[in-house]
């Protein structure tokens, strides 16, 4: 599929969202201050558009959407951030509602959704563990963010249970995690293996899954939990999901030194990632893995 061209605007099958649909709801559960602080100081809106790796993640995510989402219907994008994916899916004709606990992200998403006469998708404040949406009201739920920002297993279970509740029977969940060894690979790519304390940091990170030492978190640092891929499978099945498949998002390709050049004409690279995306022995080479599962 010609994935990078699917972002161009297409006429919508759904009616446009009105202002009423976009009103913020009261946030019933606060998120961790370390997570909200991160998004005060970091421009999440730019991430999927600027770097070679950001572009790869965007193209691969849309490729996965194209093959694993139902062909049409209502999509709830929980932790949808500034709305890059929501806008893409709305452009394909899905009826999309984006929720995010960070107001700055919701505002950016709304601006992205705005067209004359309404919004192409709904965007409002919301939190994964406590969804305001009715039972069985969506054909697909995206959790691309909450599962790694919720570092406590009980909180992740709650988010998965809420996602399951709002999905119709047969509906599809796409839930993303960051892999356990991604910091070692990322630090290697960045050429900082000689940085003071980094090997102790790796040991702590690999053992606990926590992205940073909680006792010395850097200002605006990334606070998250890094999964082993099989752990995601267990969390999904323990939450009552069926047909769980694990798909590598970037696959091995984010490790390529000449990634930026290859993305100038990415089709063959995307083909190569596709044929390895479900290979269990390679999942942990990706920085992100998507769990795809069904509500029965």
**Interface with ligand SAM, residue 291, by CB under 6 A:** no
Cβ distance to ligand SAM smaller for residue 61 or 205 = 61
Residues 200-259 touching ligand SAM, rule: CB under 6 A, are: none
Among 74, 85, 112, 233, binds ligand SAM (CB under 6 A): 85
Q: What does the block give as tokens for 173?
A: 């969940």
Site map 6..35 versus ligand SAM, x via CB under 6 A: -------------------------x---x
Taking the C-alpha atoms of residue 67 and residue 78, their distance in angstroms, rounded to an integer, is 20
Among 12, 78, 125, 283, binds ligand SAM (CB under 6 A): 78
Taking the C-alpha atoms of residue 108 and residue 28, their distance in angstroms, rounded to an integer, is 21
Distance of closest approach, residue 161 Cβ to ligand SAM, in angstroms = 13
Residue 280 in contact with residue 156, Cβ under 8 Å?
no
Span near ligand SAM by CB under 6 A; candidates 16-24, 143-151, 189-197, 251-259: 143-151
Cα torsion through 229, 143, 149, 272, rounded to 10: 40
Of 153, 157, 140, the closest CA to residue 85 belongs to 140
Among 22, 69, 80, 110, binds ligand SAM (CB under 6 A): 80
Among 6, 7, 37, 44, binds ligand SAM (CB under 6 A): 44
**Interface with ligand SAM, residue 81, by CB under 6 A:** yes
Distance of closest approach, residue 249 Cβ to ligand SAM, in angstroms = 9
Cα torsion through 50, 51, 56, 57, rounded to 10: -80
Q: What is the DSSP code (8-state) at residue 6?
A: T
Distance of closest approach, residue 146 Cβ to ligand SAM, in angstroms = 4
Taking the C-alpha atoms of residue 61 and residue 174, their distance in angstroms, rounded to an integer, is 10
Cβ distance to ligand SAM smaller for residue 125 or 296 = 125
Taking the C-alpha atoms of residue 238 and residue 154, their distance in angstroms, rounded to an integer, is 12
**Interface with ligand SAM, residue 149, by CB under 6 A:** yes
Span near ligand SAM by CB under 6 A; candidates 81-89, 180-188, 200-208, 240-248: 81-89
Cβ distance to ligand SAM smaller for residue 152 or 279 = 152
Q: What does the block give as tokens for 212?
A: 């940073």
b/e for 32-63, b at 16 or more Cβ within 10 A? bebbbebbeeeebbebbeeebbebbbbbbbbb
Cβ distance to ligand SAM smaller for residue 78 or 244 = 78
Neighbours of 142 (CB within 10 A): 29
Of 262, 264, 239, the closest CA to residue 143 belongs to 239
Q: Which residues bind ligand SAM (CB under 6 A)?
A: 31, 35, 39, 44, 48, 78-81, 84-85, 100-102, 105, 127-128, 144-146, 149-150
């Amino acid at each position: 599929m010609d994935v990078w061209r699917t972002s161009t605007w297409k006429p919508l099958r759904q009616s446009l969202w009105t202002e009423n649909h976009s009103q913020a709801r009261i946030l019933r559960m606060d998120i961790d201050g370390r997570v909200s602080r991160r998004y005060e100081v970091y421009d999440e809106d730019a991430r999927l558009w600027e770097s070679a790796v950001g572009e790869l993640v965007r193209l691969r995510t849309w490729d996965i959407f194209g093959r694993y989402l139902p062909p049409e219907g209502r999509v709830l994008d929980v932790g949808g951030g500034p709305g890059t994916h929501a806008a893409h899916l709305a452009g394909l004709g899905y009826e999309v509602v984006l929720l995010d606990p960070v107001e700055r992200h919701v505002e950016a998403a709304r601006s992205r959704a705005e067209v004359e006469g309404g919004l192409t998708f709904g965007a409002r404040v919301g939190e994964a563990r406590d969804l305001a949406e009715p039972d069985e009201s969506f054909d697909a739920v995206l959790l691309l963010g909450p599962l790694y920002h919720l570092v406590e297993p009980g909180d992740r279970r709650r988010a998965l249970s809420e996602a399951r509740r709002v999905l119709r029977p047969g509906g599809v969940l796409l839930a993303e995690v960051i892999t356990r060894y991604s910091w070692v690979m990322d630090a290697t790519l960045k050429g900082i293996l000689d940085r003071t304390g980094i090997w102790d940091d790796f040991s702590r990170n690999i053992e606990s899954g926590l992205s940073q030492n909680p006792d010395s978190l850097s200002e605006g640092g990334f606070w998250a939990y890094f999964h082993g891929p099989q752990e995601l499978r267990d969390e999904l099945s323990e939450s009552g999901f069926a047909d769980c498949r694990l798909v590598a998002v970037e696959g091995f390709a984010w490790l390529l030194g000449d990634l930026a050049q290859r993305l100038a004409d990415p089709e063959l690279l995307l083909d190569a990632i596709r044929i390895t995306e479900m290979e269990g022995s390679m999942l942990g080479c990706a920085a992100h893995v998507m769990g795809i599962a069904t509500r029965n």
